[in-house]
Amino acid sequence: MLAAVARLRARGRERRRPRRAHAVIVSPSRSTVIHDDRAVRSVQSARLTLDAADLERLWVPANLENLARTYWRFLTRVTLGLIRVVYGVDSRSVVLLGRPLTLLRFDAPEYTMSHDRGTVRWRIRSGLLVARTGRDRGYLALDVRRERPVGDRERLLIEVEVANFYPSIASGLSVPAYEMTQSAVHVLVTHAFLRSLARLDLARSKVGRLARFTSGPATLSRGSCDAGQS
């Protein structure tokens, strides 16, 4: 009898306790593919489950820009500040300690958002980690899609994609060297970033170019995105 009462009390406390968001890695079995010409495509995915009220609060164009800023903030934090992002008028540079050690240089971000999907994409321009033949050819993208709810819980599929990327390590050394170093680190860091989104703690963009879109579709190309901090 006492055990039954204890279980009922525990269930009552569970019902009163606010449910937190939950992120599960669902990356495909072959999440990184290296083609014969040494072009890399890597897709890391997570399914984020959250309350409907949280999704309604977050599903606005401005938070797509904030998500982009959150990605760069996470990269700096997880490397204890060794890697930073330097913002230019029409570029984003990932640097080790500081210039001239520019690992990756991207064009300014492109944003697209509809009622059920949001995407931010940075085209890869150059950098120490990019082979000469791969300059201005690939891109990095964050993609967020609303999925069918489960009960009273909403679900988002979040993907981090690197496509048509030509790593200098694979060209200068070997594909196995790239797989054991840069590729492995990218997967570990990206999975950690995706899991961290369960905290629903988005960094605030310092410019907020999407803030004027309160709801509905929004699109900003490179030409309309200047020195935004995302």
DSSP state, residue 140: E
Confidence of residue 205 (pLDDT cuts 50, 70, 90): confident
The whole-angstrom separation of Cα 189 and Cα 124 is 19
Query: Between residues 173 and 180, which one has the greater pLDDT?
Result: 180
Instruction: Please give the helix or strand (H or E) that residue 44 lies within, else none.
Output: strand 40-51
The whole-angstrom separation of Cα 167 and Cα 128 is 9
Q: Region 80-106: what's the mean pLDDT?
A: 89
Confidence of residue 1 (pLDDT cuts 50, 70, 90): very low
Q: Region 30-52: what's the mean pLDDT?
A: 95
Domains in the chain: ranges and CATH: 19-210 (3.30.530)
pTM of the entire structure? 0.83
The whole-angstrom separation of Cα 8 and Cα 12 is 6
The whole-angstrom separation of Cα 95 and Cα 126 is 12
17 pLDDT higher than 50: no
Residues 6+ apart with CB under 8 A from 170: 34, 38, 40, 131, 177, 178
Q: Region 84-98: what's the mean pLDDT?
A: 88
The whole-angstrom separation of Cα 167 and Cα 181 is 11
Q: Where are the alpha helices (DSSP H) in 48-157?
A: 52-58, 61-78
Query: Between residues 222 and 59, which one has the greater pLDDT?
Result: 59
The whole-angstrom separation of Cα 189 and Cα 2 is 47
Percent of the chain with pLDDT over 70: 81
What pLDDT, on the 0 to 100 scale, is given for residue 97? Answer: 86
208 pLDDT higher than 70: no
Q: What is the pLDDT of residues 45-88, one digit of tens each?
A: 999 999 999 999 999 999 999 999 999 999 999 999 999 998 88
Q: What is the pLDDT of residues 142-179, one digit of tens each?
A: 999 999 999 889 999 999 999 999 999 988 889 999 99
Amino acid sitting at position 142? L
